[in-house]
Structure 1
Amino acid sequence: MTCAVLCFSPAISAPFRHERGTSLKDNRRKPHSPPKQSSPLTKPEVITVTATNHAPATSHPAGQTTYSSDRSNFGNQVGQSVADMVVTIPGVSFTQGNGPRDTVVSVRGSGDRQSYGLKNLQVLEDGFPMTQPDGTARADLIDPHAYQGVDVFEGPASTLYGNYAINGAINFRTRKGTDMHGLELGSDFGSFGMFNNYATLGLGNQRYDLMVFASDVRGNGFIANSRYNTSTENVRLRVNLTSSDRLILKFVNNVTDASLPVRLSLNQYSANPYQNGCYNTSNSRAGCASVNLLVNGRYGSKVAMSPEAAGLGRFDRRTVTGLRWEHDFNKQTTWRNQFTYDQRHVDQPTSPTSFVGPYNSYNVSSDVTNHARIGATSLDTFGGLSFDYLDYGYQTYNIMPLGGATRGAMSSASYGHQSNIGARFQEDWHFAPGWHAVVGLGGTYSDIGATETLYGYSASGMNSQYVTANRFYFNLAPEGALIYDPSEHWTFHTRVGTAYGTPSSSNFFITPQGQYGNNTQLKSQTSVGVDLGADWRPTATTHLQVTGFYEFYNNELVNQSAGVNAVGAYTFNAPASQHRGIVLGADWAPLPHTLPGGRISLSYTYDNQVYTNYTEVLSNSTASKRFSRSGKYIPGVIPNFLNARFLYDQPSGPLEGVGGYAEVTWRDAYWLDNANRLKAPGYALLNLEMHYDPPARMGWAHRLHWYFEVQNVTNQTYVSGATNISDQLQANGQEATAATLMNSTGSIYAGSPRAYFGGVRIKL
C-alpha cells in the first residue's frame, strides 16, 4: 500500500536460520516445537536438515513476538517503497519521511515521533546491519522488487540486538538465486510520471547462490518540488567453500536525487495540500510554504522563497559492503564472523541551511551457536561479541536566494565519532515436551565524542562558538521468555524483555529553538516490556494471532519540530512513560471448498502511549512557565492502525492465474503536541489491485506477469506524515490553543491523490 507515501510521484546480527521459508506472518515456532498444521493459504515453514549444520540457532530471538510477510503479499503490485512490504504486518505502521522512499516505519510506535528513517530499531538485511552505530537507518535503500520477505521482531530487544533496539528489530530477506534460475526484467509505470525499470538475476546450485538486482525509478511527484530519481543495486552471494565453511558477500548501493517540498502547518495543508501554484511567493496564494533565506548568505536581511525556487532537495549516496564466514565445528556448533563497511554521504539543502558530509561506519561481530542434548531435552546456546564505530564530519551552509540551493557562508561544522562494544548471551532450553524457556543477557558500552563550531557573521566580521560533547554510556538488557505448545493448534508465549538506546551525536547539537547549539545533557532511554500472546490455528484455513504488551520507559527520547525555518528537530528526555497495546493478525479462508481462492487478511494495532512523569518548560519573550505532561498522550503515536485485505486468486480453470484484492487501510487521528491540543486527522483508504500470472500450460506466456492497481480509489485528501510540533507560551502566560498551533509549520505532508499504476515482468 503505497498511496500513504509521497510518490515523488544494526550493530549486532542475531542468530538466524541460514536457509528458511516463511509463513504468512508469524514464525514464532522453534525447530524443537511440535509441528504445526500447514495452511494451504500460506507457504509452510521449511526447515532443511542436512548432514552438516548450516542453520545456526533460530531465525529470531526465541519467545519474542515475531511477524513476517513474504513476497506473495507485495510481489504482485507496484512496490514503490517499504510501506508495500510491511502494511500487512501487525504491530507495524508507517508515515511519510523526507523523500520518495524515505518511509518512516514504526514497530509499536518506534518511529512515530520521527521525521525520517527507521528509528529505535535495529535494521538488518540478510543478517547484515543496516543501522549505523548512531542509530540511523533509512528506507531509501529498499526497492521491494529485490526481496523475498521481511521479518519483524517486536518489543524490547537489546539482549540480542544491542543499542537502539528499543522497540525491536527488522530483517529484510532478498530473493535467492536458486529460486529464480534466470533473469527477470520488469517495468512499472503510472501516475505523476512514475517509471521504474528493474532487473534481477538469480543463479545457484549446491555450491553457490547469487542474486543481483538493479533498478532505476523516477517521477514528478504529486506535490510541487517533489521530482525524484533513485537508483539501487543489491547483490548477495553465498559460496560453500567446503562442507563446513560458507562465505556470504553482501553489497548494497543507493543514490537518491530528489527535490523536496517543506512540511506544512495544518492550516496550510487544509488550504493547499499539494502546494500548487507556489513557485512565486509574491502571489500570496493560500497554503504556500516558504523558507527565509539570508540575502547575502551571511547575516542581515532575509527573503522568503518557495522550496522549488530555492532548490531544496536531497542528494544522498549510501554504500554497504559486508562479508560473513560461517564455520561448522561439528553438527551441533557453528561459528560466524562478520564485517560490514557502511558509508553514508549526505548533501541535504532541506531548510534554510544545507547539511553536507560523510558518515563512515564499521561493524565487526563474532558469535557461536550450539545445539546440545541434555538427556531427553535439548538446549540451544548462543553467545556473541560485537564492535562498531562511526566517524563523521559534516558542515552546514546558509542557503542563498539564488536558486539551485546555492551555498553561502558556513554556519556550523561538526566532527565526531561513536562506538559501541557489545556482548550477548542466550539459552533456549526445551525442558519438557511442548515447553521451552529462554533466558538471556546483553550489554553495550557506548562512547560518543563530538565537537561543533558555530559561526556567526556581522558587518564587523565573523565570530565562532564551540560546543563539546564527550559522553559514555553502559547499558544492560536481561530477558526471559516461556513458550508452551499444548497441541498443533495452539502456541502460548510470554516474555519480559529490556532495551536501551543512547542519544546520537546529532541530538546533542540542536536546541529547543530548533537552532544549532548545546543540548548535551541527554541520557540513555531504557525500557522494560512484558508480552503475553497466543497463536491459534483451529483449522487448516484459519489462523489467529494476538499479543498484548505493556512497556515501561525511563528517559524516553522524544523529538519535536520547531518550525519549517528551524535547522532540525529538538530532542528531549521524558523521565517516565508507558506504552501499552494489542497486536492482532488474522488470516481466514471463509469458503475453502466453494471458493478456494478467496481469503481475508487482517492486521490491527492498538498503541496507547502516555507520559507518566514529564514537566515541560515553555518560554516567551518575558517569562517561562512549567507544565506537567503526566497523563498526556505522547504526540506522534498513531493509536489505531488497521489493514484489511480481501483477496482472490483463481486456482484452476480457464481463468487460472487471475487474481487481485481490495484493501482498506485505516489510520486513526493522533496528537501532534505534548499538551494534546492539536491532532493530525485520520483517514481510511481503499485500494484495488488485479494481476495475471499465466499458468504453465500457456507456454511462453507463463514467463509474463501483469498487474494493474488503483490507489486511493475515493480520491481522499489525507495526511500521510506529520511530525510533532512545539507548544507555545503566549504573552498572557497561557498555553497556545489549537487555533494558534494550527499555524505551526514544519509538520504536515499530504498523501497521494487517486493514482493508477501498472506493470509487466518477464522471466528469461
Structure 2
Amino acid sequence: MPLRRSTLSLTIPLILAAWQPAQAQQSEKSLDEVVVSANRGEQRRFDAPAAIDAVQVDTLRAGSPLVNLSELLSSVPGVEIRERQNYAQDLQMSIRGFGTRSTFGVRGIRILVDGIPATMPDGQGQLSSIDLHSAKRIEVLRGPLAQLYGNASGGVVQVFSQDPPVSSKPVFAAGIGAGSDHQRQWDVSVGGGNETLGATIDATRYRTDGYRDHSAAERNQVNAKLVARSSSSTTITGVFNYLNQPLAQDPLGLTRAQFYANPRQVVPQALAFDTRKTVDQRQAGVLVDHAFSDSDKVSARLYGGTRGVFQTLATQNNGVVDLDRSFGGIGLNWTHKTRIANQPLQWTVGFESDRMQETRQGFQNNGGTPGARSRYEDDNASNSDVFGQLSWAFAPDWEAIAGLRVSRVDLNIGDHLGSNSGGTSYHNTSPVLGAIWHANDRLNLYANVGTGFETPTLAEIAYSPNGSSISNVPNFALQASKSVQAEVGAKLRLERHTLDAALFTARSRDEIVPLINNSGRTVYQNADRVQRRGIEAGWTANWHPLLKTRVAYTLVDAYFDSSYRNGNVTIPSGNKLPGTPEHNLFADVETTVAPGATVALESRFESRTFVDDRNSDAAPGYAVFNLRAGKEVKAGPGTFYVYGRIDNLFDRQYAGSVIVNESNARYYEPAPGRRLFVGLRTRF
C-alpha cells in the first residue's frame, strides 16, 4: 500500500528544508560523538551503520527537573514518549510504532542501564527505575540492528551513568526545585577518586500532588557506582540502584465526554477502589572489561535484584495485586579485531542468560483493602541467547554488517489455588545484514534488513477465552510475534548543520492483540499481519555561537494488513494501529542572551491518535509550546545554575496519552495545563 500523497507532501518539504542550509564541513565536536549500541564497540555516531542517537545529559545545566525520560527524548526522531501524569503506570514509549499497545510499563523496546537489562526476560520493561540525575548519555538504537538485542527489540534504549570524577578532593552537587501542582524535588550527590579507584553516589526525592485529582506521587531513588582499574587493561564497575515509590495514585483514564468537561477530574471507580501503586526495587551488578591486547577484549556482567509491587485496580474481583519478584542474569561477550584482504574486520560473539521469578497474589478489592485471596501463583520467565556480530570494511569506503542471535524464552506458571499450572517455550533465530557507504567525510549512506520477535509477557498469557467470558486458565497457545524490518538512511555532517534521515518498513505476523476485554482483564490473541513504515529525520543547526535549532520529525504509517475478530467485532484490514500518531514533530530554538544565560522555545506537534483497534475514536492532534531559561554563575570553587520552565505555554487542553483498547472507553489521559517549574543546582 503506497504512502498517501498528503503524507509525502508534508514530509518532502521538511527534509528539503533541513538539507538546504547545510553548506560547510562538520565541526570536530559532532564528529567525535561516540556510541556503542550499534556494534557493541565504540565508534563515532556518524559512522554507525544504523539509525542511532546519543543524547548527552548535563545534570548541572539541564533546563528541566530530570524526573522522566520524556524530558530528554522528545528530540529523537522515531521515538514517541509520553509523560502520562500517572506514576502508577509509568511512561508510554514506542519506537517506529513498536510498543504502542502497552497499557502499563514498556513493551516492544529493550531497555538497558549501564549494560544491565531493565527489561525482563518476558519483554516487559520499566523506565521508572532510571535515575536521570546520575545519567551521562542515553543512546536510542532503531531499526534492524536493534533485533540483535533479543526479545522485544523493536528498538533499544541504553542509559549510561556518569563515572566517578577524577579529583583529589570530593566533588559535591545538590539541587532543589519546585513547581505547579505542588511539585517538590531535591537531589544530592558526592563523588571522587583517582585513575585507579573512584566512587559516586546520588540520592533524589520527588513529590507531587498531581495535575488531576487522586494522582499524587512520591519517588525516592539512590544510584551508586564504583569503578576500579586494576591495570590499564582491566576495569571493574559495580553499580547499585534503589527505587522506593511509596505513593502513586491512579486517577484512571477519562471518557471523551469527561475529558472535555473537566480534565482534572477523577472517575468514581478510582475513589471507590482507591486505585494506587507502591514499588520497592533494589538492584546491584558487576561489570568487568578486560583487554587481552589491542585486538581482543572481553566484557562480562553479573546482576541481581528484587522488586515488590502492591497495586489496587478499579475492579473488585482480583482487584488487588501483591507481587514479589527476584531477577538476575549473566552475560559475556568477546570482541576481536583483525584484518582480511588488508581491510579491518571486527567480530563479537557472546551469550546472555536472564531469569525472573515472582510470587503473584491476587485479592478481592474491598474499597482499596485486600479481601479474600483469589490468585496465588509462582511465575517464572527466563531467556538463554547466543549471538554474533561482524563488521568488515571490505573496501576503503564500504563496510558490511552481519549478525545472528539465537534465542529461547521460557514462561512458566505454578498455580497454588487450582490446576492451572503449566508452561511454554519460544524459540527464534534473528539474522541481520547491512552495509554502509562512506561517500566522503561529510556523507554516509546505509541500509539494513533483519528479523526479530516479541513473546507474550506473563501478564498477557494470564487469561484464556471461555466462550465470550474470561477464564483464569493461562493462554499458553498465544504465539510470539515475528517481524521483518528494513531501512535505508543517510547521515550528513557539515560545519554548522547535521542531518540524519531514514526510510523504514516493518512487517509483523502473529501480532499480539486483544480478543476479550472485561473488568480490567484482557485475553490476547494473534493477528495475522501488521505493517509499520515511515520516515524519520533529525536536523540540528548551529547558526551562530549564540543561536541553535533542532528539528525531529517522524511519520509512521502503522496499520493492520489483514482483518481479525475482536470479540464480536471484525477489525478490518487497513485500520490504523492505536496509540500511534501518523505525524510527530519536535522543534526548538535556543539563544544565548548574556554570558552563561540562555532562553529557548520548544514546540511539539502531533496528529490525531486512534484509541482502539476498531478506530472508533481518536484523540485530536495538537500543538504545544514550552519556554525554558537558565543562568550559570560561578562563585569561588562552586558553579550555580538557576533555571525555570513553563510547559504548555498557551494552556492548551489535549490528551497527553491514550490508554489503548480500554474496555470501559476511558481512553484519555489529560496533559496538564500551563505549568511552571523552577530550580537551583550547584556543583563544587
TM-score by structure 2 length?
0.89
Give how far 1:637 is off: 1.5
1:495 aligns with 2:473: no
SS in 2 for 1:506: coil
Aligned to 1:657: 596
SS in 2 for 1:523: coil
Contact 2:444 2:492 (C-alpha < 8 Å) held by counterparts: yes
Contact 1:561 1:724 (C-alpha < 8 Å) held by counterparts: no
Q: Equivalent of 1:552, from 496, 501, 507?
A: 507
SS in 1 for 2:612: coil
Contact 1:560 1:725 (C-alpha < 8 Å) held by counterparts: no
Give how far 1:519 is off: 2.9
1:630 aligns with 2:579: no
Distance 2:79 2:609 in 1: 16
Distance 1:646 1:515 in 2: 54
| Aligned ranges 1:714-753 → 2 under 5 Å | 714-725=650-661, 744-753=664-673
Q: Equivalent of 2:423, from 450, 453, 470?
A: 470
List 4+ stretches of structure 1 deviating above 4 A: 40-43, 55-62, 511-518
Aligned to 2:249: 259
1:444 aligns with 2:429: no
Distance 1:706 1:251 in 2: 29
1:646 aligns with 2:589: yes
Distance 1:648 1:515, change over 3 A: farther
| Aligned ranges 1:254-403 → 2 under 5 Å | 254-256=243-245, 257-275=247-265, 289-291=267-269, 307-308=270-271, 310-352=273-315, 353-401=319-367
Distance 2:64 2:407 in 1: 41
Give how far 1:156 is off: 3.7
Contact 2:273 2:313 (C-alpha < 8 Å) held by counterparts: no
1:245 aligns with 2:198: no
Aligned to 1:623: none
Q: Deviations over 1:28-48 (max 9, x none)?
A: xxxxxxxx9653785842699
Q: Given residue 575 of structure 2, which amino acid in structure 1 is its aligned partner? A: K
Aligned to 1:458: none
SS in 2 for 1:248: strand
Distance 1:386 1:486, change over 3 A: same
| Aligned ranges 1:470-619 → 2 under 5 Å | 470-511=423-464, 516-537=472-493, 539-558=494-513, 562=517, 566-590=519-543, 592=544, 596-619=545-568
Q: Equivalent of 2:91, from 100, 103, 117?
A: 103
Q: Given residue 551 of structure 2, which amino acid in structure 1 is its aligned partner? A: L
Give how far 1:326 is off: 1.7
Q: Report which stretch shifted further, 751-760 or 135-144.
A: 135-144
- Percent identity between matched residues is 22
Aligned to 1:279: none
Q: Deviations over 1:457-498 (max 9, x none)?
A: xxxxxxx65433411111000001101111111011100122
Give how far 1:56 is off: 4.9
Q: Equivalent of 2:135, from 124, 147, 168?
A: 147
Contact 2:26 2:497 (C-alpha < 8 Å) held by counterparts: no
Distance 2:643 2:34 in 1: 29
Contact 2:147 2:155 (C-alpha < 8 Å) held by counterparts: no
SS in 2 for 1:505: coil
What is the alpha-carbon root mean square deviation over aligned residues?
2.5
Distance 2:400 2:145 in 1: 17
Q: Given residue 316 of structure 1, which amino acid in structure 2 is its aligned partner? A: V
Distance 1:179 1:613, change over 3 A: farther
Q: Given residue 290 of structure 1, which amino acid in structure 2 is its aligned partner? A: P
1:169 aligns with 2:156: yes
Q: Deviations over 1:534-580 (max 9, x none)?
A: 0112x3111111001011111112358936xx234443322111110
Structure 1 residue runs of 5 or longer lacking an equivalent are 1-35, 49-54, 276-287, 292-306, 454-463, 620-625, 728-743
Distance 1:752 1:308 in 2: 21
Give how far 1:178 is off: 2.4
SS in 2 for 1:76: coil
Give how far 1:209 is off: 3.8
| Aligned ranges 1:217-232 → 2 under 5 Å | 217-232=206-221
Contact 2:360 2:379 (C-alpha < 8 Å) held by counterparts: no
Give how far 1:633 is off: 1.2
Contact 1:244 1:328 (C-alpha < 8 Å) held by counterparts: yes
Aligned to 1:70: 56
SS in 1 for 2:460: helix
Q: Report which stretch shifted further, 466-475 or 387-396.
A: 466-475
Distance 1:214 1:261, change over 3 A: same
Q: Given residue 416 of structure 1, which amino acid in structure 2 is its aligned partner? A: D
Give how far 1:400 is off: 0.8
Distance 1:560 1:235 in 2: 44
Distance 1:747 1:449 in 2: 32
Structure 2 residue runs of 5 or longer lacking an equivalent are 1-23
1:39 aligns with 2:27: yes
Q: Deviations over 1:353-392 (max 9, x none)?
A: 0111112112111110011123431010100011111111
Distance 1:616 1:263 in 2: 25
Q: Report which stretch shifted further, 169-178 or 511-520.
A: 511-520
| Aligned ranges 1:82-161 → 2 under 5 Å | 82-97=69-84, 98-99=86-87, 102-157=90-145, 159-161=147-149
Q: Given residue 555 of structure 1, which amino acid in structure 2 is its aligned partner? A: D
SS in 1 for 2:503: strand
Give how far 1:706 is off: 0.4
Give how far 1:76 is off: 2.5
TM-score by structure 1 length?
0.80
Aligned to 1:758: 678
Distance 1:640 1:211, change over 3 A: farther
Q: Given residue 504 of structure 2, which amino acid in structure 1 is its aligned partner? A: F
Distance 1:547 1:272 in 2: 41
Distance 1:217 1:674, change over 3 A: same
Distance 1:319 1:38, change over 3 A: farther
Give how far 1:228 is off: 1.1
SS in 1 for 2:331: strand
1:666 aligns with 2:605: yes
Distance 1:333 1:725 in 2: 50
Q: Equivalent of 2:380, from 414, 417, 423?
A: 417
Distance 1:713 1:99 in 2: 23
Contact 1:559 1:724 (C-alpha < 8 Å) held by counterparts: no
Q: Give the structure with higher Rg (CA).
A: 1
Distance 1:272 1:378 in 2: 62
Aligned to 2:3: none
Task: Point out the structure with the larger strand share.
Answer: 2
Contact 2:659 2:669 (C-alpha < 8 Å) held by counterparts: no
Give how far 1:603 is off: 0.5
Q: Deviations over 1:75-125 (max 9, x none)?
A: 222223110121111111112454178211211122222122221111111
Distance 1:576 1:125, change over 3 A: same
Q: Given residue 183 of structure 1, which amino acid in structure 2 is its aligned partner? A: F
Q: Deviations over 1:268-304 (max 9, x none)?
A: 21222111xxxxxxxxxxxx5233xxxxxxxxxxxxx
Distance 1:445 1:365, change over 3 A: same
Q: Deviations over 1:151-189 (max 9, x none)?
A: 001024465311121x12110111232278611000111
